[in-house]
Amino acid sequence: MKQIGLEWQPWQPEKFSVKQITAKLKRTLRDGFSNLYVTGEVSALKAAASGHLYFNLKEEDTVLSCVMYRQSARLLKFQLRDGLMLQARGSIDLYEPRGSYQFLIESAEPIGVGALQKAFEDLKKKLAAEGLFEADRKRPLPKYPRRIGIVTSPTGAVIQDMLNIFERRSRGLEIRIYPTLVQGNGSVEQICAGLNYFSENGWPDVVIVARGGGSLEDLWSFNDEAVARAIVASAIPVVSAVGHETDFTIADFVADLRAPTPSAAAEIIAPDLSALLERLDSLDRAMSRSIRHAISIRRENVFRNGVDRAQALIQRRLNRFAQQIDEADSRMDALLKIRVWRLKLQYQQSTIELFALDRRLIFMQRRDAITRMQTAMRERMQVLLNQYALRQKSLAGQLQQLNPTSILERGFAIVRLEDGKIVRSPKDARKGTPLQIRVAKGTFDAVKK
């Protein structure tokens, strides 16, 4: 209550539109939180095509959304990156379209290495000191693998792109996927379990650990020491295909091979059978031409020298020709071996195509799709039932309002003539006409005077 003179007037709250209250909050934030210095670790950095920088300043489990416009970003004298500890100067601003506050940064200076980046560098030094990054420790990949194990998420574009490349380059390869989380709680344990599974059963010729790109936090599971040691302990050669070409993780350093992207890993590992068969055909033709040419030259030399020359010369020539025949026979044997190898490859390709008829993976994917559809249908049915319940309640309320008995309860009455006709005007009943009057609690008779 406010006292005005000797009278008391009730207090009235101020009224605002959405734009008015947002503008007032923006002025309040700018006036009260300008020219601030804030320290935190850079994460989730994104550079827009406009030149603006969007990222978070992070401290433990607290995050502050930040924006640095192009005119300020161009003045930076260092490379901004995830994991960098930053001292930034700016003001708190309100972004009106979303109604959310953000730190508008005007200038910034690095003050050290962020917690995640420091942990990355410390583990990198530790494992390097143990010799786990040495080239002589790493094993060569099989040139023509037939069985490939993949440790990754079973959903998303990464695994689909890899499967498409395997199908295009080496149709019929046997592929097993060990489904795991690739970030967040439980992902490290699942990735290690997948690596141990393939290492223990010895089924694949090579194992790929894969996931798409992301921030330093998103890729952190592949910077974990347990994952690194599981890769080192694997009895099967391991290819690390994590993130984009510019992303580096501890898994990349300890793996037997680092692929720039998951798609590149599929290109590297899968042999191009079409190109291989074309190469064998080319070698076959070249060898045949070489042998025929050598035999033709030797035959001409024999006839050119003639048989009327001295016995010693003839014998020497014959011996040399016999040696050349031996060499040609050796080449022919090599040619036959190449042809046999080509037939073996064709046989292996036919066998691989038979394995490609295994549709269990497609059935699993379709079963998952049906499960998702059933879940969506149940959720949709529940929404419809709730809507119908609300509609029924609304109609019941309207029906109650239109109930004549409810109207009578409020003091109204219905007047009828003896024949039951409702009286709507004084003209409908003459003087002395008997009337029947119905009220909420019953009916009684009357006479118009």
Q: Tell me, yes or no, whether 97 and 23 share the same domain.
A: yes
Report pTM: 0.47
Q: Tell me, yes or no, whether 184 and 240 share the same domain.
A: yes
For residue range 57-101, list pLDDT tens digits in order.
998 888 999 999 999 998 887 778 888 888 899 999 888 888 888
Residue 152 lies inside a defined structural domain of this protein? yes
pLDDT score for 358: 63
Say if residue 341's pLDDT is above 90.
Answer: no
pLDDT score for 2: 46
Residue 356's pLDDT band, with cuts at 50, 70 and 90, is: low
Residue 203's pLDDT band, with cuts at 50, 70 and 90, is: very high
pLDDT score for 227: 95
Give me 437's structure tokens. 């009057």
Q: Collapse the DSSP code of 267 into the 3-class scheme (helix H, G, I; strand E, B; otherwise coil) and give the result.
A: helix
Q: Which of 113, 144, 166 is the last residue of a domain?
A: 113
Residue 380 lies inside a defined structural domain of this protein? no
For residue 82, the domain's CATH number is: 2.40.50.140
Say if residue 155's pLDDT is above 60.
Answer: yes
**Residue 78's domain spans which residues?**
18-113
Q: Tell me, yes or no, whether 257 and 145 share the same domain.
A: yes
Residue 395 lies inside a defined structural domain of this protein? no
Give me 429's structure tokens. 């009943």
List, in order, residues 6 or more apart from 324 with CB less than 8 Å away: 294, 298
For residue range 162-179, list pLDDT tens digits in order.
999 988 888 778 999 999
154, with CB counted inside 10 A (0-12, 13-18, 19+), is: middle
Say if residue 342's pLDDT is above 90.
Answer: no
Residue 403 lies inside a defined structural domain of this protein? no
Q: How many domains does the chain have?
A: 4
pLDDT score for 339: 81
Distance CA 438, CA 415 (A): 6
Q: Tell me, yes or no, whether 287 and 305 share the same domain.
A: yes
pLDDT score for 195: 96
Phi-psi region of 99 (alpha: psi -120 to 50; beta: other; left: phi over 0): left
Distance CA 190, CA 226 (A): 11
Better-predicted residue by pLDDT, 201 or 270: 201
pLDDT score for 57: 94
Residue 1's pLDDT band, with cuts at 50, 70 and 90, is: very low
Distance CA 53, CA 396 (A): 56
Residue 303's pLDDT band, with cuts at 50, 70 and 90, is: low
Percent of the chain with pLDDT over 90: 33
Point out the least confidently predicted range of 137-146, 216-225, 233-242, 417-426: 417-426
